[in-house]
């Protein structure tokens, strides 16, 4: 065998599963028709090919390593892949078409922090995703062209309310509005000009705006150059089971904190 084919066949040998990341319909069909020994799993944000075995990921990852890690972690979480299984992953890493094949051993450790952020958070994955989308969108556009910062504390709202105080009247006091609702996304963006944090429940209800967080911040490690918003956003996730999503006014990045640590950092411009 020529060395290139040998290399490739070594990568795909004895796979328990083949994970196709956002494949085209024709590629997926060919895999189904081939009737492989390995299970064929489709991983993506949407099941555009109507795959029988589909693993949904909550957002488009820019980093392919993150994507593969997250996807395989999610496949383990969904019960399609077991610990120790060899998963051959086909991804479009350099272009829109699949151009990369990698060999990954599914393991508990493959559960990335990012996977944890969505799946093992108190709040529902859809709620975290919606808030992340609002933050990314706000980061891209700013408010009337000017950069804005924002702090969203998602999940475990009762405890978060106990560790914070109002800076002003709460515009969401008597409302029953949820994130993901288009009008709410507009409201969140509008109110982001104002001080303090948004508090959002596990199921996505906006509990409050204008909250000043007062968590214990000793021992919290946040990236240098970031200030009070990030400190408070990080620390509240150690004091409670909430997840914080923070848009920085100064560097424009969106960060997520869980358990007091930074678990995700994304540049809205890349989305």
Residues that bind ligand ATP (CB under 6 A): 149, 151, 195-197, 212-213, 226-230, 232, 248-250
- The interface partner of residue 197, options being ligand ATP, Mn ion, none and the CB cut-off 5 to 8 Å by kind, is ligand ATP
- Closest contact distance (angstroms) between CB of 250 and Mn ion is 5
Distance CA 240, CA 233 (A): 11
Instruction: Give the one entry of Mn ion, ligand ATP, none that residue 122 binds, where binding means its C-beta sits below a cut-off of 5 to 8 angstroms depending on kind.
Output: none
* Minimum CB distance to Mn ion smaller for 109 or for 250: 250
Which partner, ligand ATP, Mn ion, none, binds residue 189 by CB below 5 to 8 Å per kind? none
Q: How far apart are CB 142 and Mn ion at their closest, in Å? A: 15
Which residue has the closest beta carbon to ligand ATP? Answer: 227
Instruction: Find, among 179, 80, 173, the residue nearest to 138 by Cα.
Output: 179
Instruction: List residues bridging with 91 in a β-sheet.
Output: 100
Helix/strand/coil percent split, the chain, to 5: 35, 25, 40
**Rounded to the nearest whole angstrom, what is the least distance from the CB of residue 148 to ligand ATP in the complex?**
8
Measuring CA to CA, which residue among 256, 257, 252 is closest to residue 267?
A: 252
DSSP for 203-256 reads: T-BEEEEEEEE----TT----TT--HHHHHHHHHHHHSS-EEEEE-TTT--EEE
- In degrees and rounded to multiples of 5, residue 167 shows phi and psi of -95, -25
Contact partner, 271, from Mn ion, ligand ATP, none, Cβ < 5-8 Å per class: none
Least distance in angstroms from the C-beta of 157 to ligand ATP: 15
Least distance (Å) from ligand ATP to the CB of residue 153? 9
Contacting residues toward Mn ion, per CB under 5 A? 227, 250
Nearer to ligand ATP, 189 or 230 (CB): 230
The minimum distance between CB 160 and ligand ATP, in angstroms, equals 11
In angstroms, the CA 227 to CA 127 distance is 26
Q: Would you call 33 exposed, middle or buried from its count of C-beta atoms within 10 A (0-12, 13-18, 19+)?
A: exposed
Query: What residue is closest to Mn ion based on CB?
Result: 227
Closer Cβ to ligand ATP, 22 or 201, answer by number:
201
């Amino acid at each position: 065998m020529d060395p290139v084919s040998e290399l490739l066949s070594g990568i795909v040998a004895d796979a328990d599963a083949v994970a196709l990341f956002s494949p085209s319909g024709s590629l997926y069909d060919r895999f189904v028709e081939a009737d492989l020994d390995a299970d064929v799993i489709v991983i993506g944000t949407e099941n555009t090919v109507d795959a029988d075995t589909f693993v949904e990921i909550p957002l488009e990852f820019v980093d392919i390593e993150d994507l593969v890690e997250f996807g395989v972690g999610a496949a383990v979480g969904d019960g399609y892949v077991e610990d120790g299984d060899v998963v051959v992953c086909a991804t479009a890493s350099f272009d829109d078409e699949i151009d990369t094949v990698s060999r990954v051993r599914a393991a508990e450790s493959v559960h990335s922090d990012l996977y944890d952020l969505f799946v093992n958070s108190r709040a529902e994955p859809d709620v975290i995703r919606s808030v992340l989308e609002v933050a990314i969108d706000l980061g891209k556009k700013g408010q009337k062209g000017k950069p804005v910062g924002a702090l969203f504390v998602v999940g475990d709202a009762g405890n978060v309310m106990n560790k914070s105080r109002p800076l002003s009247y709460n515009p969401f006091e008597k409302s029953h509005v949820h994130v993901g609702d288009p009008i709410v996304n507009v409201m969140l963006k509008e109110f982001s000009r104002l001080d303090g944090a948004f508090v959002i429940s596990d199921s996505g209800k906006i509990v409050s705006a204008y909250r000043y967080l007062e968590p214990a911040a000793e021992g919290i490690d946040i990236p240098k150059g970031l200030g009070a918003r990030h400190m408070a956003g990080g620390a509240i996730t150690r004091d409670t089971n909430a997840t914080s999503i923070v848009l920085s006014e100064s560097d424009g990045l969106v960060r997520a904190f869980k358990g007091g640590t930074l678990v995700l950092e994304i540049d809205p411009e890349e989305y």
